[in-house]
A and B are shown apart, each in its own frame.
Chain A
Amino acid sequence: MSVETKKLNFIQAINQALVQAMDADPTILVLGEDIADREGGGVVGVTKGLSTRFGDDRVKSTPISEQAIIGAAIGAAIDGYKPVAEIMLMNFTTVCMDMIVNHAAKLRYMSGGQTTVPIVIRMMTGAGISSGGQHSDFLEAWFAHTPGLKVVAPSNPADAKGLMLSCIADPDPCIFIETSRAYGVAGDVPVDATPIPLGKARLAREGADVTLISYAEMVTRCLTAAAELEKDGISAEVVDLRTISPWDEEAVLASVRKTGRAVIVHEAVRTFGVGAEIAAILHEKLFRELKAPVGRLGAPFTPVPFAGNLEQAFLVQPGAIVEAARATMAAN
């Protein structure tokens, strides 16, 4: 049975997820800065058309008030709605960390399960678009380190749609990370509303010699690297986590058990990053089966620089992934 698909980019795919979810469920609300059509349907247009279609009550442009945005989403969620809140850029979550970390993430627990916060917090981020230090950070480790939150980072438009549908349906607060520099990249996206389960990884490429573990746009770079490695006769498997928290330990362990080697690749700074957690688990659980120490690639421990050359040096490039994989192969 083939699934009907259509070529869409990330922006269109997420928009379509919102439209289909809102069509199906009148309790879904969307709020954020500039998101209504009067304001242009979002800074990059992810929410275009929604206010016209669903009305200004369900699709609300907000003041520039990140705490008020997340607070309103939390309160409405407690009383039966399912808000999808946009924090324009991930760096601006710093302004509303109290609402996210002390409230959204903890109210289920602190209330003994009586109040729950089924919200989605969408945000874009990423280096490579000349935005400098305060508009480019991947801060997923902060959220993955917070019990009560789920953290999702799609690598392609189809996943963006399917994961967004699942985040909206999920009974807990989800952080949904969109990589800005990939927004325009198109892919085949199922036309129907087909949710992709949270917490399940995707085998993006099969291989036998080394597993590359990644998420968000870095998956694309891993696939490029894998193609390059193929020329050397190295067969790389690429696992796309899709969901960072909870991460799919089972799928990752299965792949690394098969290949015996792993390199984790993410965009955020490497120090104290998500890769450290995954590497530690791999060492704990597969110590005797590993053919080489688990490798980790991330950005250097610096803010994101502005100068184009520095910014590219900050980002993990496919070449670095190739090198890391080769080094892993050499370490016998």
Chain B
Amino acid sequence: MTTASPESGTNAAIPDAATQIDIYRRMSLISQNDEAARKTVKSGRLMMPYYSPKGQEVIPSAVSVNLNDDDRICTIYRGTHDMLAKGVPLRDLWAEMAGRVTGTCKGKGGPMHVTHPASGAILTTGIVGSSMPIANGLAWAAKLSGSKRVTVAYFGDAASNIGAFHESLNLASVWKLPVVFICQNNLFGEHTRFENSTSVDQISKRAVAYGMPGVTVNGNDPFEMYAAAHAAINRARDGEGPTLIEAMTFRFYGHVFGDDDHYMTKEEKAAALAKDPLPLFRARLIADGVATEATLAELDADIRAQIEDAIQFALSSEMPPLEELTRDVYAEAGAA
């Protein structure tokens, strides 16, 4: 872990055995779900824009085990990993991706606009950089109401070049908001390389400009990610204000489903795939005696069955009735 501010990065917390397995469970869920999503789109069974988070499983998994159910997340189009890690139910998520009435948003949001308040997933946005200003508002509400809720804003590395990022970090710092900004630096913004679009070699350095701690961590290492999230979330909960975490990672399947990766070198992609965080962590849990192969295999199989069930559920669900077209534009008369 490299620290851009002297205030953080000390006393690294270590997840206990149960938490480690919990992190693995979430990672397995994300990874298997991603595989299922790519397959389902490829087979033509479901048409949707799909932004694979494969390779980035560790980040929200290690973050979410530090969050309570009523803590909030704001995420982006590439966010199924963030949602699943936070607890958005598979059936509701798949039905939303399929545009069915049983989805989180009655099929009216779609994969880029999933909202599921019960699990704390309040916003999924398709506009680069816009998760942060709204996360601030949720954090402001928590602070005003005296609740201990924390809000996490997820975004990509390219989003840190959008004005909203800078406005949001400044405001959060000035208002000392209970918010954690988590940049998932997968080294690309669409097809543009990080170094060709960003003025600093570490986004965490930008935290200095906003008077908050900023750390760059290996976002593919569950322990490093856990420790950084633990510190930042506790800091937010204790009323000490925001933190910027830059989690280094890599996206395995390009920007959007169907992307041919022409802008990556074969070598860098191969090197990243060789370090796939999921099998590595799985092997580590077994080697450390935290879990047995059999336990993890059972856990994986259980997840696989749940995903299959969710896909069946989604594809066999009804489309939204046509009255939904014009509903929810405004509050229904008399509803408020």
B interface, size bucket: 35 or more
B283-336 contacts to A (CB < 8 Å): 324, 327-331, 335-336
- A121 part of interface (Cβ distance < 8 Å): no
The yes or no answer to B263 lying at the interface (CB within 8 A) is no
Smallest Cβ-Cβ distance to A170: which chain B residue: B336
Assess the B115–A114 pair: CB atoms within 8 A. yes
Bound: A109/B140 CA distance, A? 23
Task: Report the Cα distance A68→B179, complex, angstroms.
Answer: 14
A110/B329 contact (C-beta < 8 A), A72-B171, A81-B144 known: no
1/0 per residue, CB under 8 A from B, across A103-126: the answer is 100011111111110000000000
Q: Are A75 and B138 in contact (CB under 8 A)?
A: yes
**Does A250 sit at the interface, judged by CB under 8 A?**
no
Q: Chain A: how many interface residues by the 8 Å CB criterion?
A: 44
Contact with B along A81-100 (1 / 0, CB 8 A): 10100000000000000110
Within 8 Å by CB of B137, from A65, A71, A102, lies A71
Q: Determine, out of A56-64, A151-159, A202-210, A221-229, the stretch whose residues face the partner at the interface.
A: A56-64
Q: Are A75 and B115 in contact (CB under 8 A)?
A: no
User: Is A236 an interface position by the 8 A CB rule?
Assistant: no
Decide if A108 touches B329 in the complex (CB within 8 Å). Answer: yes
- Are the CB atoms of A81 and B141 closer together than 8 Å? yes
Question: In the bound complex, do residue B336 and residue A75 qualify as a contact, i.e. CB atoms below 8 Å apart?
Answer: no
Query: For residue A315, which residues in chain B have a CB less than 8 angstroms away from its CB?
Result: none
Determine if A182 is an interface residue (Cβ-Cβ < 8 Å).
no
**With a CB–CB cut-off of 8 A, which chain B residues contact A63?**
167, 170-171, 174
Interface centre among B133, B163, B335 (most CB of A within 10 A): B133
B164 interface contact, C-beta 8 A: yes
- Contacts of A234 on B, CB cut-off 8 Å? none
Q: How close is A28's CB to chain B, nearest CB, in angstroms?
A: 11
Q: For B141, give its contact among A70, A80, A102 (CB under 8 Å).
A: A80
In the bound complex, do residue A67 and residue B141 qualify as a contact, i.e. CB atoms below 8 Å apart? no
Q: Is the CB of A116 within 8 A of B331?
A: yes
- Asked if B97 lies at the interface with its beta carbon under 8 angstroms from chain A, I say no
A74 on the B face (CB < 8 A): yes
User: Are A75 and B329 interface neighbours, CB within 8 A?
Assistant: no
B117 at the binding interface (Cβ < 8 Å): yes
Knowing A68-B136, A98-B127, say if A110 contacts B171 (CB, 8 Å). Answer: no
Contact A111 B170 (CB under 8 A): no
Name the segment of B43-51, B82-90, B102-110, B222-230 touching the other chain: B102-110
A108 touching B141, Cβ below 8 Å: no
CB–CB A72/B164 < 8 A: no
Do residues B109 and A71 form an inter-chain contact, with CB atoms below 8 A?
Answer: no
Question: B142 interface residue, CB < 8 Å from A?
Answer: yes
Q: Is the CB of A115 within 8 A of B144?
A: no
Chain A CB within 10 A, most for which of B110, B174, B329: B329
Query: With A and B bound together, what is the CA distance between A171 and B336 in angstroms?
Result: 6
Pick the residue among A58, A60, A65, A111 that contacts B105 (CB under 8 A).
A111
Instruction: Tell me the complex Cα distance, A293–B279, Å.
Output: 74
A107 and B123 contact, CB distance less than 8 A: yes
Please tell me if A4 contacts chain B, counting CB pairs below 8 Å: no
Contact of B171 among A68, A114, A150 (CB under 8 A): A68
Decide if A73 is an interface residue (CB 8 Å cutoff).
yes
Distance of A184 from chain B, by nearest CB (Å): 33
**CB atoms of A75 and B135 under 8 A apart:** yes
A304 contacts the other chain (Cβ, under 8 Å)? Answer: no
B residues engaging A (CB < 8 A)?
72, 74, 103-110, 113, 115-117, 122-123, 125, 127, 130, 132-142, 144-145, 151, 163-164, 167-168, 170-171, 174-175, 324, 327-331, 335-336
A residues with a Cβ closer than 8 A to B are 29, 57-58, 60, 62-63, 65-68, 70-81, 83, 98-99, 102-103, 107-116, 147-148, 150, 169-172
